């Protein structure tokens, strides 16, 4: 069923892959983990038991990317990225699931996004499970888990000296073709590790009925309460692995049309040319962020737009905690709708 | 609840009960141990969540420009927050008589970056004693000297005591050593241009343009920031080097003579970008060129607003 | 190879002219550089849809389409001078290249309206898509599918009235009832005077087997909707077209939502019944 | 050393050149490597203008304005002097050498001085390497 990758072979494996793939893996940037290109010679930073600070969605939807180059005469040349096949190594289950969720937004039947598609189609995701989840993680609450497999081609479980590799797709099988099968004892050990980890994560809030609570409390005073502390910066949305909003702008000096991540937390996000702003204060903006993830996503694709990675909780400079916010909504009586 | 916290709670409760303030801005406990949440108390019965410790990272003065001038605001202030309030009063962002400050001499803030980078994300609680920080995990506890975890701005803090608080609780701390405070920026200035530039690039390159530094800063209260300005557009919209460097240069320069060295910008940054080496340089120049230190009183205009003909001799002839 | 939805169709400006005497409104008519694109465009086009015009170096802006397919192989837009893109649009001349993405959005549900009476109510520069709708209905092959047609069009003053010649001639047509209004009395004005909601009450179109379509500034729309409800129109029989800041136009960039609905993809045309089900996020 | 003429941006206060000849020279005869930005007063020069010039690859920025007490707008130059001088120091702090920003405060009798100062500035800049710090838009399109 599973295979064995001795940790000491990892470098060799990565450099073998590097011949035909571009590889991205977490490495140390300043003092935190960050996805960067590697050919196997760099020191990886995956043993620390938490996530990269910057979400790997940027490998599929870069923070800034050129959509097209244009000339003075109105002709535009699209700039669809071309690259070798890619491997993202060491992605955590929450982030891999987030990429899968982004597929639903960008690889649509009508108007599929060619830029995202070009990157996504060429990329294999090799994930690694979390043996010791952080207290800010809540993946199990939102239909994922520390060893969730959604979106991955293979999932690694860290067992001291070896990784137990569970291949999940044909691509995954090909990549790990030469590695031996795991013994039953190793399988059992991995299972124990996984279950121990699972037990460490407490459910953060109830998701059943949450959407109805949010929908019926659109005008609730709680939104103002949360917005009071909110600074209005873009940390929660930029570091979120599922937030995908973008802005399209022309960089006249480079003669390029670009798209940049945008965030509903900024005033300019919904500001119209007439200076009318449908979301004039932090209250509406905070509400938009939470509603989008826990209500509108469900309307659109019947999935919660959150994978419980906990980044917005960990890095919010004012300690606004989406888990606490949602719990407060859950505690509201159903009948005080629109209070 | 610590001794200081109970004294503060009593004081705040009195203010709210006597209706001396409309809102009291302080901190309350949040789920994450590293980030107590700014809270806005209007009734004394809300004070159950009140918390005040070295992890209260934000400069609460940043919330003042959100209120109309007539709002009577109460605040717990440390030295830097007191100076920020002073300067906001200079810039007419609020009326001094409508702000009630409870001053607390500051022990220095524990930097969450330092904590996380050193002890990982798995901490479930962080407590403090006089000189020690206790970090609890699920299965163990670690102690670390406070001094090693203080934020850089606090390590070089010169004025930890509130200067013009209406009430001060706690014992005054000795003033910091100005020369010691300047060693860092002096050392940076002593590097050659290429080295300084390399450092600047390295820091600015990590920027994700979330503008947390701007939003956390009490002096960044403009309704429309220059980066949001559409016609003309001042900087590139992308995370290209041009855009990110322009942001860091101009953000810092707009603080010239207005920065109180609280370091809130740096603490808010999710990418560990150093920024105070820029603002400290400006502060240093303001001190040497114009003998100005921001926020020391609520009257003196900053140098860029206070030019006059005395500058005559500064023109190279 | 997928079609790139962000890539504009190459177009040229056929002609431009000012609509209003104060020169705040300008109409641009664009022709397709490639006839193939024109075929594809008109095969997909339904009145009420919009396009994203793209001025390279300035950016993009969404504008409602103001012509019917039968008028010819061109696309008409009327732009109010507002932001930097529309400012540039106003400066452009015949022969200038321009990009266009579209048609986008749902357009009016014309199929559902067949054999019903239509009340078309417009205010100010938002009349453009209603103009397209009315023109569309004039086509002999289409007109008989629908019942009586009433058009109510109000502007602040007569100078701001768009498509003046055409609208002037509508007063003399026997297949529609035209009501025009200005906000304040003017010399030589022999039509209605007053705000659109009041004119609607005055004209009092019958709700029997009728559909009302309202486009206008938010405040006008708000009061007109309640006026129509007062006249007995059911929420399912009142339609309006919304706008918000848009970027991608295809429901990806995320900003133009009202609750779960994207205006660019699920709209811009909504019935009042649909709007009532959405949160107040406009 | 640079092998071509250094690119200089000249911000000129429209009141500072007292002689018509100087103004005509600046308006019509500037060498091609010097780009003129005429402003109503040095006080109008936003630091963003200077930054834009520097990011666009300017090897040097020269600001010419009036002396104290001679400002057309009374005190525009006083504010400019404080801000722009500090901005030049600040740019130096992050690697754009201080001597790449130069001020000439012109007096009534300074006939022909702008030409001399520009020539001197150009000569000084030629001795320095090409400005690369902060020149993020070099290679981009400039009209």
Cα–Cα distance, C148 to A94 (Å, whole number): 58
The CATH architecture to which C9-104 belongs is Beta Barrel (2.40)
Of residues D52, D69, D105, nearest to B317 (C-beta): D105
Same domain, A166 and A32: yes
Q: What is the pLDDT of residue A170?
A: 93
* Region A144-163 average pLDDT: 93
Distances (CA, A) of A7 to A47, A149, A216, B118, D89: 11, 21, 51, 24, 52
pLDDT over threshold 70, residue A199: yes
Q: What is the CATH number of the domain that holds D20?
A: 3.40.50
Which residue is listed with tokens 């809102």?
A: B23
Average pLDDT, chain B: 91
B122 touches chain A (CB under 8 A): yes
Average pLDDT, chain C: 90
User: D103 is in which domain, residue-wise?
Assistant: 8-126
Cβ-proximal residues to C214 (8 Å cutoff; 6+ apart), any chain: C121, C122, C221, C224, C225, C228, C238, C239, C240
Same domain, A104 and A193: yes
State the DSSP H helix or E strand holding residue D96, giving kind and residue range, or none if neither.
none
pLDDT over threshold 80, residue D139: no
Q: What is the pLDDT of residue A339?
A: 41
Neighbours of A, requiring at least 3 CB pairs below 8 Å, are B, C, D
pLDDT over threshold 70, residue B293: yes
A chain contacts of residue B113, beta-carbon cutoff 8 Å: 31
Q: What is the pLDDT of residue A337?
A: 46
Of residues C8, C252, C279, nearest to A105 (C-beta): C252
* CB spacing of A113 vs C5 below 8 angstroms: yes
Same domain, A47 and A148: yes
Instruction: Give residues 196 to 235 of A whose Cβ lies within 8 Å of C.
Output: 215, 218-219
Does any domain span residue A205? Answer: no
* Residue at a domain's end among A200, A219, A243: A200
Instruction: Give residues 81 to 140 of D whose Cβ lies within 8 Å of A.
Output: 137, 140
CATH, range C110-241: 3.40.50.80
pTM of the full structure: 0.92
Q: What is the pLDDT of residue C124?
A: 86
Does any domain span residue A223? Answer: yes
Neighbours of B, requiring at least 3 CB pairs below 8 Å, are A, C, D
**Confidence tier at A338 by pLDDT (50, 70, 90):** very low
Same domain, A179 and A218: no
pLDDT over threshold 80, residue A74: no
Same domain, A21 and A56: yes
pLDDT over threshold 80, residue D1: no
* Residue at a domain's end among A140, A167, A200: A200
pLDDT over threshold 50, residue D140: no
* CB spacing of A278 vs C56 below 8 angstroms: no
Residue A160 main-chain phi, psi, to 5 deg: 60, -90
Does any domain span residue A336? Answer: no
Supply B268's token pair: 């808010």
Phi-psi region of B129 (alpha: psi -120 to 50; beta: other; left: phi over 0): beta
pLDDT over threshold 90, residue A72: no
Does any domain span residue D21? Answer: yes
* CB spacing of B315 vs D82 below 8 angstroms: no
Does any domain span residue D143? Answer: no
* CB spacing of D103 vs B303 below 8 angstroms: no
Does any domain span residue D102? Answer: yes
Residue A299 main-chain phi, psi, to 5 deg: -65, -40
Cα–Cα distance, D39 to D52 (Å, whole number): 15
**Confidence tier at B317 by pLDDT (50, 70, 90):** very low
Does any domain span residue A339? Answer: no
Does any domain span residue D139? Answer: no
- Closest residue, chain D, to A72 (C-alpha): D141
Question: ipTM value of the model?
Answer: 0.90
Same domain, A57 and A193: yes
B239 touches chain A (CB under 8 A): yes
Distances (CA, A) of D131 to B193, C190, D71, D94: 12, 70, 32, 13
* Residue at a domain's end among A200, A223, A258: A200
Q: Which residue of B231, B236, B237 to mutate against C (max C Cβ within 10 Å)?
A: B231
Yes or no: say if B197 and D95 are a contact pair by the CB < 8 Å rule: yes
Does any domain span residue D141? Answer: no
pLDDT tens digit sequence for A12-34 = 999 999 999 999 999 999 889 99
> How many structural domains are present in chain D?
1
Q: Measuring CA to CA, which residue among A293, A286, A322 is closest to residue A136? A: A322
Yes or no: say if C122 and C154 are a contact pair by the CB < 8 Å rule: yes
pLDDT tens digit sequence for B217-265 = 999 999 899 998 877 888 888 898 888 999 999 999 999 999 999 999 9
Q: Do chains D and C touch (3 or more CB pairs under 8 A)?
A: no
Tell me how close the Cα of B247 comes to any Cα of chain A, in angstroms: 15
Residues of chain C scoring pLDDT < 70: 1-2
Quote the distance between the C-alpha of residue C171 and its chain's center: 20
Tell me how close the Cα of C84 comes to any Cα of chain B, in angstroms: 7
Q: What is the pLDDT of residue C279?
A: 87
Cβ-proximal residues to A184 (8 Å cutoff; 6+ apart), any chain: none
Beta bridge partners of A282: none
Domain extents for chain C? 9-104, 110-241
Coil, helix or strand for C223? helix
Does any domain span residue D2? Answer: no
Q: What is the pLDDT of residue B32?
A: 83
Q: What is the pLDDT of residue D138?
A: 61
Does any domain span residue A187? Answer: yes
Q: What is the pLDDT of residue B229?
A: 85
User: A178 is in which domain, residue-wise?
Assistant: 3-200
pLDDT tens digit sequence for D67-102 = 888 899 988 988 898 999 999 999 999 999 999 999
* CB spacing of A233 vs B120 below 8 angstroms: no
* CB spacing of D78 vs B304 below 8 angstroms: no
**Confidence tier at B316 by pLDDT (50, 70, 90):** low
Does any domain span residue A143? Answer: yes
* Region B49-77 average pLDDT: 94
Residues of B with CB under 8 A from a CB of D: 188-189, 193-194, 196-198, 200, 226, 234, 240-242, 245-246, 249-250, 252-253, 256, 278, 281-282, 285, 289, 303-304, 307-309, 311-312, 314-317
Q: How close are the terminal C-alpha atoms of chain B, in Å?
A: 63
pLDDT tens digit sequence for A248-276 = 998 888 889 999 999 999 999 988 888 88
Counting one residue from chain B and one from chain D, the pairs whose CB atoms sit within 8 A come to 92
Distances (CA, A) of A155 to A88, A96, C178, C280: 12, 10, 69, 44
Cα–Cα distance, C181 to C224 (Å, whole number): 14
Of residues A229, A233, A249, nearest to B212 (C-beta): A233
Cα–Cα distance, A207 to C23 (Å, whole number): 54
Same domain, A174 and A297: no
CA angle A240, A246, A249 (to 5 degrees): 145
Same domain, A33 and A134: yes
* Region D112-139 average pLDDT: 86
Residues of C with CB under 8 A from a CB of A: 2-8, 10, 54, 56-61, 82-83, 85-86, 96-99, 218, 244-245, 247-248, 250-255, 257, 259-260, 279-282
Cα–Cα distance, B71 to C126 (Å, whole number): 41
pLDDT over threshold 50, residue B283: yes
Residue B90 main-chain phi, psi, to 5 deg: -55, -40
Same domain, A99 and A188: yes
Tell me how close the Cα of C250 comes to any Cα of chain B, in angstroms: 22
A chain contacts of residue D142, beta-carbon cutoff 8 Å: 253
Counting one residue from chain A and one from chain B, the pairs whose CB atoms sit within 8 A come to 126
Q: Do chains B and A touch (3 or more CB pairs under 8 A)?
A: yes
pLDDT tens digit sequence for A216-250 = 999 999 999 999 999 999 999 999 999 999 999 98
pLDDT tens digit sequence for A56-70 = 999 999 999 999 998
pLDDT over threshold 90, residue A172: yes
Tell me how close the Cα of A218 comes to any Cα of chain C, in angstroms: 7
Q: What is the pLDDT of residue A236?
A: 94
Counting one residue from chain A and one from chain D, the pairs whose CB atoms sit within 8 A come to 8
Cα–Cα distance, D26 to D52 (Å, whole number): 21
* Region B136-157 average pLDDT: 92
Beta bridge partners of C12: C31, C97
pLDDT tens digit sequence for C155-212 = 998 888 889 888 889 888 888 889 999 998 888 888 888 899 998 988 888 898 999 9
Tell me how close the Cα of D2 comes to any Cα of chain B, in angstroms: 17
Tell me how close the Cα of A281 comes to any Cα of chain C, in angstroms: 12
C chain contacts of residue A265, beta-carbon cutoff 8 Å: none
Does any domain span residue D133? Answer: no
> How many structural domains are present in chain A?
2
- Closest residue, chain C, to B230 (C-alpha): C84
B chain contacts of residue D76, beta-carbon cutoff 8 Å: none
Q: What is the pLDDT of residue B213?
A: 95
Supply A311's token pair: 């980044």
């Amino acid at each position: 069923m599973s295979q064995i990758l001795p940790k000491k072979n990892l470098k060799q494996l990565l450099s073998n892959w590097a011949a035909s793939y571009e590889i991205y893996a977490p490495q140390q940037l300043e003092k935190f983990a960050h996805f960067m290109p590697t050919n196997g010679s760099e020191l990886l930073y995956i043993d620390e038991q938490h996530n990269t600070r910057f979400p790997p969605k940027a490998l599929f939807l870069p923070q800034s990317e050129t959509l097209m180059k244009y000339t003075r005469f109105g002709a535009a040349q699209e700039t669809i990225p071309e690259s070798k096949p890619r491997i993202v190594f060491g992605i955590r289950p929450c982030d891999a699931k987030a990429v899968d969720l982004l597929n639903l937004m960008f690889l649509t039947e009508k108007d599929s996004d060619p830029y995202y598609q070009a990157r996504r189609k060429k990329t294999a995701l090799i994930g690694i499970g979390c043996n010791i989840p952080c207290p800010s993680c809540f993946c199990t609450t939102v239909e994922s888990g520390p060893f969730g497999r959604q979106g991955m081609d293979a999932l690694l479980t860290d067992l001291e000296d070896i990784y137990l590799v569970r291949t999940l797709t044909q691509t995954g099988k090909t990549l790990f073709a030469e590695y031996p099968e795991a013994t039953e004892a190793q399988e059992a050990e991995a299972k124990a590790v996984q279950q121990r980890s699972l037990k460490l994560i407490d459910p953060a809030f109830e998701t059943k009925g949450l959407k109805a609570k949010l929908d019926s409390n659109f005008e609730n005073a709680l939104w103002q309460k949360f917005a009071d502390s909110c600074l209005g910066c873009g940390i929660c949305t930029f570091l979120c692995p599922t937030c995908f909003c973008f802005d399209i702008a022309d960089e006249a000096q480079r003669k390029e049309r670009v798209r940049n991540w945008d965030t509903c937390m900024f005033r300019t996000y919904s500001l119209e040319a007439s200076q009318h702003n449908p979301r004039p204060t932090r209250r509406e903006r905070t509400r938009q962020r939470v509603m989008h993830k826990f209500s509108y996503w469900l309307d659109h694709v019947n999935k919660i737009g959150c994978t419980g990675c906990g980044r917005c909780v960990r890095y919010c400079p004012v300690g606004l905690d989406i888990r606490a916010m949602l719990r407060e909504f859950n505690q509201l009586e159903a009948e005080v709708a629109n209070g | 609840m610590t001794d200081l916290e109970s004294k503060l709670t009593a004081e705040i409760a009195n203010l709210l009960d006597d209706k001396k303030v409309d809102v009291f801005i302080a901190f309350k406990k949040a789920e994450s141990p590293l980030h107590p949440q700014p809270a806005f108390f209007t009734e004394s019965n809300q004070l159950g969540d009140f918390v005040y410790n070295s992890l209260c990272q934000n400069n609460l003065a940043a919330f003042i420009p959100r209120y109309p001038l007539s709002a009577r605001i109460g605040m717990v202030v440390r030295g830097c927050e007191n100076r920020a309030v002073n300067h906001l009063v200079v810039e007419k962002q609020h009326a001094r008589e409508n702000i009630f400050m409870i001053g607390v001499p500051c022990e220095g803030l524990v930097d969450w970056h330092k904590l996380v980078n050193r002890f990982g994300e798995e901490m479930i609680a962080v407590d403090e004693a006089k000189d020690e920080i206790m970090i609890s995990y699920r299965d163990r506890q670690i102690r670390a000297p406070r001094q090693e975890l203080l934020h850089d701005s606090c390590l070089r803090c010169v004025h930890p005591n509130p200067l013009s608080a209406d009430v001060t609780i706690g014992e005054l701390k000795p003033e910091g050593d100005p020369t010691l405070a300047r060693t860092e920026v002096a050392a940076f200035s002593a590097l050659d241009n290429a080295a300084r530039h390399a450092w600047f690039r390295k820091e600015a390159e990590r920027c994700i343009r979330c503008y947390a530094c701007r939003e956390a800063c009490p002096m960044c209260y403009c309704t429309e920031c220059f980066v949001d300005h559409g016609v003309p557009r001042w900087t590139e919209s992308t995370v290209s080097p041009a855009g990110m460097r322009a942001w860091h240069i101009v953000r810092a320069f707009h603080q010239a003579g207005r920065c109180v060295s609280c370091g809130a910008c740096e603490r808010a940054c999710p990418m560990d970008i150093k920024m105070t080496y820029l603002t400290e340089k400006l502060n240093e120049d303001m001190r040497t060129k114009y003998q100005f230190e921001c926020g020391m009183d609520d009257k003196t205009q900053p140098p860029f607003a206070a030019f006059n003909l005395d500058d005559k001799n500064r023109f190279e002839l | 190879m997928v079609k790139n939805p962000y890539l504009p169709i190459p177009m040229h400006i056929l002609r431009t002219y000012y609509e209003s005497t104060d020169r705040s409104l300008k109409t641009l008519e664009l022709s397709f550089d490639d006839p193939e694109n024109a075929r594809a465009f008109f095969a997909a086009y339904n009145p009420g849809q919009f396009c994203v015009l793209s001025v390279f170096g300035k950016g993009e802006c969404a504008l409602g389409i103001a012509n019917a397919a039968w008028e010819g192989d061109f696309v008409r837009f009327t732009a109010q001078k507002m932001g930097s893109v529309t400012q540039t649009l106003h400066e452009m001349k015949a022969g200038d290249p321009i990009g266009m993405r579209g048609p986008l959005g749902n357009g009016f549900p014309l199929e559902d309206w067949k054999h019903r009476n239509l009340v078309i109510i417009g205010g100010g520069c938002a009349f453009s898509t209603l103009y397209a709708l009315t023109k569309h209905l004039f086509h002999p092959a289409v007109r008989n599918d629908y019942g009586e047609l009433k058009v109510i069009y109000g502007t602040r003053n007569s100078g701001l009235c768009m498509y003046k010649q055409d609208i002037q001639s509508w007063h003399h047509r026997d297949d529609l009832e035209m009501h025009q209004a200005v906000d304040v009395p003017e010399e030589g004005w022999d039509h209605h005077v007053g705000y659109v909601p009041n004119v609607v009450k005055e004209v009092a179109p019958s709700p029997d087997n009728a559909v009302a379509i309202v486009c206008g500034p938010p405040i006008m729309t708000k009061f007109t909707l309640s006026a129509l409800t007062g006249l007995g129109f059911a929420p399912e029989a009142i339609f309006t077209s919304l706008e918000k800041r848009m970027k991608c136009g295809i429901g990806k960039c995320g900003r133009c939502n009202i609750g779960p609905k994207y205006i660019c993809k699920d709209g811009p045309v909504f019935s009042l019944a649909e709007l009532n089900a959405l949160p107040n996020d406009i | 050393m640079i092998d071509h003429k250094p690119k200089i941006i000249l911000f000129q206060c429209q009141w500072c050149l007292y002689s018509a000849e100087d103004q005509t020279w600046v308006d019509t005869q500037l060498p091609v490597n010097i780009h003129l930005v005429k402003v109503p007063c040095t006080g109008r020069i936003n630091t963003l203008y200077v930054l834009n010039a520097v990011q666009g690859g300017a090897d040097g920025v020269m600001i010419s304005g009036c002396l104290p007490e001679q400002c057309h707008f009374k005190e525009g130059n006083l504010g400019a002097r404080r801000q722009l001088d500090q901005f030049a120091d600040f740019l130096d702090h992050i690697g754009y050498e201080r001597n790449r920003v130069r001020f000439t405060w012109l007096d009534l009798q300074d006939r022909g001085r702008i030409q001399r100062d520009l020539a001197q500035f150009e000569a000084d800049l030629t001795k320095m390497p090409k400005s690369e710090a902060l020149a993020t838009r070099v290679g981009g399109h400039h009209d």
